[in-house]
Amino acid sequence: MRRGALGDRLLHAYTWLVIVWLSAPIAVMILFGFNDKQSKSNTTWQGFTLRWYAELFEISDLTVALRNSLVIALVSTVITVVLGTMLGLALGRHRFRAKGVTNFLVFAAISTPELVMGASLLSLFVSANVPRDANTVIIAHVLFSLSFVVVTVRARIVTLDLSLEEAARDLGATAWGTFRQVTLPSIMPAVMAGAMLSFALSIDDYVVTSFVNGSTVTFPLWIVGAVKTGIPPQVNVMGTLIFGVGVLIAVANAVVARRRA
Protein backbone atom coordinates (compact mmCIF):
# COMPACT_ATOMS: atom_id res chain seq x y z
CA MET A 1 0.00 0.00 0.00
CA ARG A 2 0.96 3.61 -0.50
CA ARG A 3 2.90 5.30 2.18
CA GLY A 4 0.67 7.37 4.42
CA ALA A 5 -2.50 5.49 3.42
CA LEU A 6 -3.30 4.91 7.07
CA GLY A 7 -2.80 8.60 7.79
CA ASP A 8 -5.08 9.50 4.88
CA ARG A 9 -7.80 7.21 6.18
CA LEU A 10 -7.50 8.60 9.69
CA LEU A 11 -7.78 12.10 8.27
CA HIS A 12 -10.91 11.11 6.35
CA ALA A 13 -12.47 9.56 9.40
CA TYR A 14 -11.61 12.58 11.51
CA THR A 15 -13.04 14.99 8.93
CA TRP A 16 -16.34 13.09 8.83
CA LEU A 17 -16.43 12.98 12.59
CA VAL A 18 -16.15 16.77 12.77
CA ILE A 19 -18.85 17.22 10.12
CA VAL A 20 -21.23 14.87 11.98
CA TRP A 21 -20.40 16.55 15.28
CA LEU A 22 -21.23 19.97 13.89
CA SER A 23 -24.39 19.04 12.03
CA ALA A 24 -25.93 16.51 14.45
CA PRO A 25 -27.70 19.13 16.62
CA ILE A 26 -29.12 20.80 13.51
CA ALA A 27 -30.25 17.44 12.11
CA VAL A 28 -31.93 16.55 15.40
CA MET A 29 -33.65 19.94 15.52
CA ILE A 30 -35.01 19.53 11.98
CA LEU A 31 -36.02 15.91 12.55
CA PHE A 32 -37.97 16.54 15.75
CA GLY A 33 -39.93 19.26 14.01
CA PHE A 34 -41.58 16.36 12.20
CA ASN A 35 -42.10 14.22 15.34
CA ASP A 36 -45.67 13.09 15.89
CA LYS A 37 -45.27 13.23 19.65
CA GLN A 38 -48.11 12.40 22.03
CA SER A 39 -46.48 13.02 25.43
CA LYS A 40 -45.45 16.40 26.80
CA SER A 41 -41.78 16.10 26.01
CA ASN A 42 -40.38 16.02 22.48
CA THR A 43 -37.38 13.74 23.02
CA THR A 44 -38.36 10.35 21.62
CA TRP A 45 -39.27 9.67 17.99
CA GLN A 46 -42.91 8.70 17.66
CA GLY A 47 -43.63 8.97 13.97
CA PHE A 48 -43.69 11.46 11.09
CA THR A 49 -46.13 14.36 10.85
CA LEU A 50 -46.44 17.79 9.27
CA ARG A 51 -48.83 18.85 12.00
CA TRP A 52 -46.41 21.32 13.63
CA TYR A 53 -45.87 23.14 10.38
CA ALA A 54 -49.65 23.55 10.07
CA GLU A 55 -49.96 24.66 13.69
CA LEU A 56 -46.82 26.81 13.61
CA PHE A 57 -48.46 29.92 15.05
CA GLU A 58 -50.85 28.18 17.48
CA ILE A 59 -48.87 29.17 20.57
CA SER A 60 -49.47 32.93 20.65
CA ASP A 61 -46.74 33.77 23.22
CA LEU A 62 -44.18 31.97 21.09
CA THR A 63 -45.36 33.75 17.94
CA VAL A 64 -45.06 37.12 19.69
CA ALA A 65 -41.57 36.20 20.91
CA LEU A 66 -40.46 35.22 17.41
CA ARG A 67 -41.90 38.40 15.93
CA ASN A 68 -40.13 40.46 18.62
CA SER A 69 -36.85 38.74 17.82
CA LEU A 70 -37.20 39.31 14.09
CA VAL A 71 -38.10 42.99 14.50
CA ILE A 72 -35.30 43.58 17.03
CA ALA A 73 -32.78 41.77 14.79
CA LEU A 74 -33.82 43.73 11.70
CA VAL A 75 -33.85 47.14 13.38
CA SER A 76 -30.60 46.59 15.26
CA THR A 77 -28.92 45.25 12.11
CA VAL A 78 -29.89 48.32 10.07
CA ILE A 79 -28.63 50.68 12.79
CA THR A 80 -25.46 48.61 13.31
CA VAL A 81 -24.62 48.46 9.62
CA VAL A 82 -25.01 52.21 9.10
CA LEU A 83 -23.01 53.16 12.21
CA GLY A 84 -20.46 50.37 11.79
CA THR A 85 -19.77 51.18 8.14
CA MET A 86 -19.19 54.84 8.97
CA LEU A 87 -16.90 53.90 11.87
CA GLY A 88 -15.03 51.36 9.74
CA LEU A 89 -14.55 53.95 6.99
CA ALA A 90 -13.26 56.54 9.44
CA LEU A 91 -10.88 54.11 11.15
CA GLY A 92 -9.61 52.61 7.92
CA ARG A 93 -9.20 55.82 5.98
CA HIS A 94 -8.68 58.87 8.17
CA ARG A 95 -6.38 60.07 10.88
CA PHE A 96 -8.06 61.82 13.77
CA ARG A 97 -7.76 62.48 17.46
CA ALA A 98 -8.82 59.59 19.68
CA LYS A 99 -8.40 57.10 16.83
CA GLY A 100 -6.37 54.86 19.13
CA VAL A 101 -9.03 55.06 21.84
CA THR A 102 -11.75 54.26 19.30
CA ASN A 103 -9.83 51.25 18.03
CA PHE A 104 -9.41 50.08 21.60
CA LEU A 105 -13.13 50.48 22.35
CA VAL A 106 -14.02 48.48 19.24
CA PHE A 107 -11.76 45.70 20.42
CA ALA A 108 -13.02 45.97 24.00
CA ALA A 109 -16.63 45.59 22.88
CA ILE A 110 -15.73 42.30 21.20
CA SER A 111 -13.77 40.93 24.11
CA THR A 112 -16.08 41.95 26.96
CA PRO A 113 -17.95 38.92 28.39
CA GLU A 114 -21.68 39.14 27.64
CA LEU A 115 -22.49 38.73 31.29
CA VAL A 116 -20.47 41.83 32.15
CA MET A 117 -21.95 43.79 29.27
CA GLY A 118 -25.51 42.81 30.24
CA ALA A 119 -25.06 43.63 33.90
CA SER A 120 -23.40 46.99 33.24
CA LEU A 121 -26.05 47.96 30.69
CA LEU A 122 -28.77 47.10 33.19
CA SER A 123 -27.21 49.24 35.90
CA LEU A 124 -26.74 52.05 33.40
CA PHE A 125 -30.38 51.93 32.32
CA VAL A 126 -31.60 51.68 35.91
CA SER A 127 -29.51 54.58 37.15
CA ALA A 128 -30.47 56.68 34.11
CA ASN A 129 -34.09 55.76 34.72
CA VAL A 130 -34.59 54.29 31.27
CA PRO A 131 -37.54 51.87 31.14
CA ARG A 132 -36.49 48.40 29.87
CA ASP A 133 -38.33 47.28 26.76
CA ALA A 134 -37.68 46.39 23.11
CA ASN A 135 -35.78 49.68 22.66
CA THR A 136 -33.21 48.88 25.33
CA VAL A 137 -32.80 45.43 23.78
CA ILE A 138 -32.11 47.06 20.40
CA ILE A 139 -29.57 49.43 21.99
CA ALA A 140 -27.82 46.48 23.62
CA HIS A 141 -27.76 44.45 20.39
CA VAL A 142 -26.35 47.38 18.42
CA LEU A 143 -23.68 47.71 21.08
CA PHE A 144 -22.39 44.16 20.91
CA SER A 145 -22.65 43.68 17.12
CA LEU A 146 -21.26 47.09 16.12
CA SER A 147 -17.63 46.05 16.51
CA PHE A 148 -18.00 43.10 14.15
CA VAL A 149 -19.26 45.34 11.35
CA VAL A 150 -16.50 47.88 12.08
CA VAL A 151 -13.80 45.20 11.91
CA THR A 152 -15.01 43.68 8.62
CA VAL A 153 -15.53 47.04 6.90
CA ARG A 154 -12.22 48.42 8.13
CA ALA A 155 -10.36 45.36 6.84
CA ARG A 156 -11.90 45.91 3.41
CA ILE A 157 -11.26 49.65 3.36
CA VAL A 158 -7.54 49.43 4.06
CA THR A 159 -7.03 47.19 1.03
CA LEU A 160 -9.04 49.49 -1.24
CA ASP A 161 -7.05 51.41 -3.87
CA LEU A 162 -7.28 55.09 -2.92
CA SER A 163 -6.93 56.14 -6.54
CA LEU A 164 -10.36 54.60 -7.31
CA GLU A 165 -12.01 57.42 -5.39
CA GLU A 166 -9.64 59.98 -6.85
CA ALA A 167 -10.52 58.73 -10.32
CA ALA A 168 -14.22 59.19 -9.57
CA ARG A 169 -13.60 62.73 -8.33
CA ASP A 170 -11.42 63.43 -11.35
CA LEU A 171 -14.23 62.29 -13.65
CA GLY A 172 -16.58 64.84 -12.11
CA ALA A 173 -18.31 62.93 -9.30
CA THR A 174 -19.22 64.84 -6.15
CA ALA A 175 -18.09 63.56 -2.75
CA TRP A 176 -21.45 61.87 -2.20
CA GLY A 177 -21.55 60.57 -5.78
CA THR A 178 -18.10 59.04 -5.29
CA PHE A 179 -19.22 57.29 -2.11
CA ARG A 180 -22.44 55.99 -3.65
CA GLN A 181 -21.02 54.88 -7.00
CA VAL A 182 -17.51 53.74 -6.12
CA THR A 183 -16.75 53.39 -2.41
CA LEU A 184 -19.94 51.67 -1.29
CA PRO A 185 -20.06 49.08 -4.11
CA SER A 186 -16.40 48.29 -3.41
CA ILE A 187 -16.98 47.61 0.29
CA MET A 188 -20.43 46.01 -0.20
CA PRO A 189 -19.25 42.41 0.40
CA ALA A 190 -17.84 43.46 3.78
CA VAL A 191 -20.99 45.44 4.63
CA MET A 192 -23.18 42.42 3.76
CA ALA A 193 -20.97 40.09 5.80
CA GLY A 194 -21.21 42.49 8.73
CA ALA A 195 -24.99 42.69 8.34
CA MET A 196 -25.41 38.92 8.39
CA LEU A 197 -23.12 38.63 11.38
CA SER A 198 -25.02 41.21 13.38
CA PHE A 199 -28.40 39.71 12.43
CA ALA A 200 -27.21 36.27 13.54
CA LEU A 201 -25.77 37.67 16.77
CA SER A 202 -29.00 39.50 17.55
CA ILE A 203 -31.56 36.83 16.79
CA ASP A 204 -30.08 34.21 19.11
CA ASP A 205 -28.79 36.39 21.92
CA TYR A 206 -29.87 35.30 25.36
CA VAL A 207 -27.42 36.58 27.98
CA VAL A 208 -27.37 40.34 27.32
CA THR A 209 -31.04 40.39 26.32
CA SER A 210 -32.11 38.76 29.58
CA PHE A 211 -30.71 41.75 31.51
CA VAL A 212 -32.32 44.56 29.55
CA ASN A 213 -35.59 43.12 28.16
CA GLY A 214 -37.96 44.34 30.86
CA SER A 215 -41.22 42.56 29.99
CA THR A 216 -40.39 42.07 26.29
CA VAL A 217 -39.91 38.38 25.48
CA THR A 218 -37.73 37.30 22.58
CA PHE A 219 -37.47 33.91 20.88
CA PRO A 220 -34.43 32.65 22.86
CA LEU A 221 -35.87 33.96 26.13
CA TRP A 222 -39.17 32.13 25.49
CA ILE A 223 -37.37 28.85 24.75
CA VAL A 224 -35.31 28.99 27.91
CA GLY A 225 -38.48 29.70 29.85
CA ALA A 226 -40.17 26.68 28.29
CA VAL A 227 -37.38 24.25 29.09
CA LYS A 228 -38.98 23.13 32.37
CA THR A 229 -42.41 22.43 30.89
CA GLY A 230 -41.04 20.97 27.66
CA ILE A 231 -40.19 22.67 24.39
CA PRO A 232 -43.00 22.39 21.84
CA PRO A 233 -42.14 21.12 18.32
CA GLN A 234 -43.10 24.52 16.89
CA VAL A 235 -39.77 25.77 18.26
CA ASN A 236 -38.00 23.14 16.14
CA VAL A 237 -39.98 24.20 13.10
CA MET A 238 -39.16 27.89 13.65
CA GLY A 239 -35.51 27.00 14.21
CA THR A 240 -35.54 24.98 11.00
CA LEU A 241 -37.05 27.86 9.04
CA ILE A 242 -34.59 30.40 10.44
CA PHE A 243 -31.72 28.03 9.67
CA GLY A 244 -33.05 27.52 6.13
CA VAL A 245 -33.29 31.25 5.45
CA GLY A 246 -29.79 31.71 6.87
CA VAL A 247 -28.37 29.06 4.55
CA LEU A 248 -30.13 30.63 1.56
CA ILE A 249 -28.72 34.09 2.35
CA ALA A 250 -25.21 32.69 2.86
CA VAL A 251 -25.36 30.85 -0.48
CA ALA A 252 -26.75 33.92 -2.26
CA ASN A 253 -23.98 36.08 -0.79
CA ALA A 254 -21.33 33.59 -1.87
CA VAL A 255 -22.74 33.51 -5.41
CA VAL A 256 -22.86 37.31 -5.65
CA ALA A 257 -19.37 37.62 -4.15
CA ARG A 258 -18.02 35.15 -6.72
CA ARG A 259 -19.59 37.09 -9.58
CA ARG A 260 -18.15 40.36 -8.29
CA ALA A 261 -14.70 39.17 -7.34
Partner 1 sequence: MTGLSAIELEDVVKEYLSHGEVVQAVKGVTLDIAEGEFFSLLGPSGCGKTTTMRMVAGFEAPTKGLVKLHGHDVTDVPPNKRDVNMVFQSYALFPHMSVWDNVAFGLKQRRTPQEEIRRRVGEMLEIVDLAGREKRRPREMSGGQQQRVALARALVNRPRALLLDEPLGALDLKLRQAMQIELKRIQREVGITFVYVTHDQNEALTMSDRIAVMNDGLVEQLARPRDIYERPATAFVAGFIGTSNLLAGTATGGEMKVRGGRVLVPGHDGEVSVTVRPEKIAIGQDEPGPELSGVRGTVAEVVYLGTYTSYSVSLADGADITVFRQNAHDSLAAAERGDPVWLSWQAQHSYVIGS
Q: What is the distance between the terminal CA atoms of the chain, rounded to a whole angstrom?
A: 42
Examine residue 210 and tell whether it contacts partner 1 (CB under 8 A): no
Task: Find the radius of gyration of the CA atoms of the chain.
Answer: 23
Among the listed ranges 98-106, 138-146, 151-159, 167-175, the one in contact with partner 1 (CB under 8 A) is 167-175
Examine residue 174 and tell whether it contacts partner 1 (CB under 8 A): yes
Among the listed ranges 102-110, 148-156, 165-173, 191-199, the one in contact with partner 1 (CB under 8 A) is 165-173
User: What gap in Å lies between CA 198 and CA 231, rounded to an integer?
Assistant: 26
Among the listed ranges 58-66, 139-147, 162-170, 227-235, the one in contact with partner 1 (CB under 8 A) is 162-170
Examine residue 164 and tell whether it contacts partner 1 (CB under 8 A): yes
Residue 35 phi, psi (nearest 5): -80, 125
Residue 129 vs 163, nearer CB to partner 1 = 163
Residue 38 vs 161, nearer CB to partner 1 = 161
Q: Which of 168, 195, 203, 238 binds partner 1 (CB under 8 A)?
A: 168
Residues in contact with partner 1, counted by CB under 8 A, come to a total of 18
Q: Is the dihedral of CA 209, 212, 218, 224 positive or negative?
A: positive
Examine residue 93 and tell whether it contacts partner 1 (CB under 8 A): no
Q: Quick one: how far is CA 138 from the chain centroid?
A: 13
Examine residue 36 and tell whether it contacts partner 1 (CB under 8 A): no
CB burial of residue 198 (10 Å; 0-12, 13-18, 19+): buried
Q: Is the dihedral of CA 27, 29, 33, 39 positive or negative?
A: positive
Kindly list the residues in this chain that would bind partner 1 in the complex (CB under 8 A). Answer: 161, 163-164, 166-174, 177, 181-182, 185-186, 260
